[in-house]
Amino acid sequence: MGKYILKRFLMMLVTIFIIATLTFFLMHAVPGSPLESDRNTNETVQANLERFYKLDQPLHIQYLSYMQSIVTFDFGPSIKDPNRTVNELLARGFPISFELGMITILVAVVSGIILGTMAALRHNKMIDYAAMAFAVIGISIPNFVLATVLIQQLAVNWNLFPPATWTSPMHMVLPVLALATGPMAIIARLTRSSMLEVLTQDYIKMARAKGIKPMRIVLRHALRNALMPVVTIMGTLLAGILTGTFVIEKIFAIPGMGKYFVDSINNRDYPVIMGTTVFYSAFLIFMLFLVDIVYGILDPRIKLHKKEGDV
Amino acid sequence: MTQVRDEWFRPSGNDTDEKEAVVRPSLSYWKDAWRRLKQNKLAMLGLIFLALLAVMAIFGPIFSPHSVTTQDLPNQNQSPSATHWFGTDEAGRDVFTRTWYGARISLFVGLMAALIDFVIGIVYGGIAGYKGGKIDAVMMRIIEILYGLPYLLVVILLLVVMGPSLWTIILALTITGWVGMARIVRGQVLQVKNYEFVTASKSFGAKTPRIIRKNLIPNSMGPIIVQMTLTVPSAIFAEAFLSFLGLGIQAPFASWGVMANDALPVIITGDWWRLFFPALFISLTMFAFNVLGDGLQDALDPKMRK
């Protein structure tokens, strides 16, 4: 186990290193200097700015100092707003995005599992059809469309929830709903199909024969095994939700990291793009690493060191 | 006393030759899969919708008297009417015509992404699975690392660098997108290459290209086709998502994502049709591909064959 974790940890570092390098060279492949603007700056100012952002150095020196900045976690100042450092933006935006993401995943997992289990227990009955119809619709509607419809109907027409920002629990309802519906639908479908499979197995029949109460069979015996596929796709879902926050934060004007990321793309603010990309990727890759470890702990049948082996 | 009749002593008609004759026409794998797909009403609905959508994407703009790019500022943001069936946008352009042009671009992006993923995935996954050993180990390690990269972040980065256009979007979507397909192909090839008929083929002296062409590819096609039907909607979704970040197809052309994004500012003022039509078609297309993919998954699964 310890050996496997160490190996996965090293793999994680390699992946982060690759994405950091990729980001650096991609950003430097952009034609023109990020300092070019409509204003006619004179040459001294230009030179000073280049020195300030270390753009006058040769590429490999820039690369080394960039790598150093990642290791020491100091991404330097923003180009569009030199009074702010990238670290400040991350410190301000990340807690909000993290909160949005975590509430979303919680809502998606809990309601998805309940929906999927109910559908499986009432197989081919009304609840099953209703839940699966809901799941297919949930997968089909992109989150940004859902977000706009929610704002238009629930916020503007019916005035039930505030349409934007992130200040009170009431403000959280619509963004979380818009972001959670898709993953919830995926989890519900997955839970249903694996639950249906588990329910036909011998040990469930055995438990029934022993006279254990149906509720207890579902919770203690079936659900535990049925949830393994859900754990497997958690990494992908997390990635989806995290990138989904870009759009949701833009639509709901939530001052999270996604908003800074999108702004930095529109402004071509390279230090911010690099900083947020590396930070986002590192966070995501770390979450994938955690999901892998949790999976290994939950299911002892999986031989951890042979995970990527033959099918 | 009963009379003994002649007909009692005729052959009973219990002809063994007749009994053993093949009554039903033999079904090939594909015919059988098609038969099973036809029984799945939802999947057929999806297929019919996609066929209609393709027809409309090709011929739809011809039915409309309005052009995609002609601006008509006096008639901006008009609600659906007899002249403009889906209304007009902020430049007075006809939303009906633009919806079918959007379908062209969205479907093209989705299909191209699926096709490129398919080609790279087949070659990469096929080599890894077929060769095995050290080559496989190295190739899978590369895939593992690529798989760990956050897909949409890489796409966004590439588009920031290359600038958004139809082909750069397709390139960005496929540059790490093929990894999923390669994994599936490899898994399939590993499984199929150990079947007896492959060994039989080899013992008859079949060479590698023939084995790949005649044995491996046809027998591992099922999951690969399913993966392709699921790649198309996810590429369409990714393109729409990128449009939202300002990295979509550039004006005056429009994909559904761009149209939906442009409609955001006016949705609050009640101009619902601007968002409704592109959003409806994105959702219906995703729905159609998803149910078709589900249907194909069941239809192409050899275990389900009767």
DSSP A153-178: IIIIIS--S-SS-SSSHHHHHHHHHH
Contact A311 B191 (CB under 8 A): yes
- Mutual angle of helices A143-150 and B221-244, in 10-degree steps: 50
B235 close to B114: Cβ distance less than 8 angstroms: yes
Per-residue pLDDT of A163-177, as tens digits, reads: 777 777 777 888 898
Chain A segment 223-242 residues within 8 A of B by beta carbon are: 239, 242
Contact B149 A15 (CB under 8 A): yes
User: What sign results for the dihedral spanned by CA atoms B264, B270, B274, B275?
Assistant: positive
Residue B66, phi-psi category: left (phi > 0), alpha (psi -120 to 50), beta (remainder): beta
B129: nearest CA in chain A? A310
Least confident residue range of A76-85, A207-216, A279-288: A76-85
Residues of chain B contacting A142 with CB distance shorter than 8 Å: 237, 240-241, 279, 282-283, 286
Q: Which of A113-122, A263-272, A289-298, B252-261 has the highest mean pLDDT?
A: A113-122
A145: nearest CA in chain B? B279
- Mean pLDDT, rounded, for A1-15: 82
Question: Touching check for A18 and chain B: CB below 8 Å?
Answer: yes
User: Residue A73: CB partners within 8 Å, gap ≥ 6?
Assistant: A87
ipTM of predicted complex = 0.72
User: What's the rounded Cα separation, in Å, for the pair B71 and B97?
Assistant: 13
Residue A213 reports pLDDT greater than 50: yes
What average pLDDT does chain A have?
80
Question: What is residue B270's predicted lDDT score, i.e. its pLDDT?
Answer: 66
**What's the angle, vertex CA A189, arms to CA A142 and CA A299, rounded to 5?**
120
- Mean pLDDT, rounded, for A10-14: 85
Contact A18 B149 (CB under 8 A): yes
Contact A281 B153 (CB under 8 A): yes
Out of A142, A273, A311, closest to residue B282 by CB: A142
User: What's the rounded Cα separation, in Å, for the pair A90 and A70?
Assistant: 13
In chain B, alpha helices (H): 16-20, 29-39, 41-63, 95-131, 133-148, 151-162, 166-175, 178-192, 196-203, 208-211, 217-219, 221-244, 256-267, 272-300
pTM of the model: 0.77
Q: Which of B53, B157, B250, B259 to probe by mutation at the A interface, max A CB count within 10 Å?
A: B157
Q: Name all domains of chain A by residue range, CATH numbers in brackets.
A: 91-267 (1.10.3720.10)
Radius of gyration of chain B (CA): 27
Contact B161 A145 (CB under 8 A): no
Out of B153, B246, B272, closest to residue A243 by CB: B153
Question: What is residue A199's predicted lDDT score, i.e. its pLDDT?
Answer: 85
Q: Which residue do the tokens 């086709």 mark?
A: B225
Which contacts of A202-205 are long-range, i.e. CB under 8 A and separated by 24 or more positions?
none
Contact A23 B241 (CB under 8 A): no
Question: What is residue B34's predicted lDDT score, i.e. its pLDDT?
Answer: 84
Q: Which of A140, A243, A281 to probe by mutation at the B interface, max B CB count within 10 Å?
A: A140
- Mean pLDDT, rounded, for A132-141: 85
User: What's the rounded Cα separation, in Å, for the pair B115 and B232?
Assistant: 9
User: Residue B268: CB partners within 8 Å, gap ≥ 6?
Assistant: A151, A152, A156
A174 close to A155: Cβ distance less than 8 angstroms: yes
Question: Touching check for A65 and chain B: CB below 8 Å?
Answer: no
Question: What is residue B3's predicted lDDT score, i.e. its pLDDT?
Answer: 80
Question: What is residue B191's predicted lDDT score, i.e. its pLDDT?
Answer: 84
Q: What is the pLDDT along chain B (306 residues), one digit of tens a residue?
A: 678 888 778 776 666 666 677 667 666 777 878 888 888 888 889 999 999 988 888 887 777 766 666 666 666 666 676 666 677 776 667 777 888 888 888 899 999 999 999 999 988 988 888 888 888 888 888 887 787 777 778 888 888 888 788 888 888 888 888 888 898 888 888 888 888 888 898 899 888 888 887 788 778 888 888 888 888 888 888 888 888 777 877 766 778 888 887 777 776 666 777 778 888 888 889 889 888 888 888 787 765 554
3-state secondary structure of A32: coil
Per-residue pLDDT of A99-136, as tens digits, reads: 898 999 999 999 999 999 999 888 888 888 888 888 88
B145 close to A14: Cβ distance less than 8 angstroms: yes
Question: Touching check for B148 and chain A: CB below 8 Å?
Answer: yes
Nearest CA-CA distance, residue B49 and chain A, Å:
14
More confident position, A35 or A192: A192
The DSSP result for B78-146, as a single string, is PPP-SSSTT-B-TT--BHHHHHHHHHHHHHHHHHHHHHHHHHHHHHHHHHHHHH-HHHHHHHHHHHHHH
Phi, psi for residue B40 in degrees, rounded to 5: -85, 100
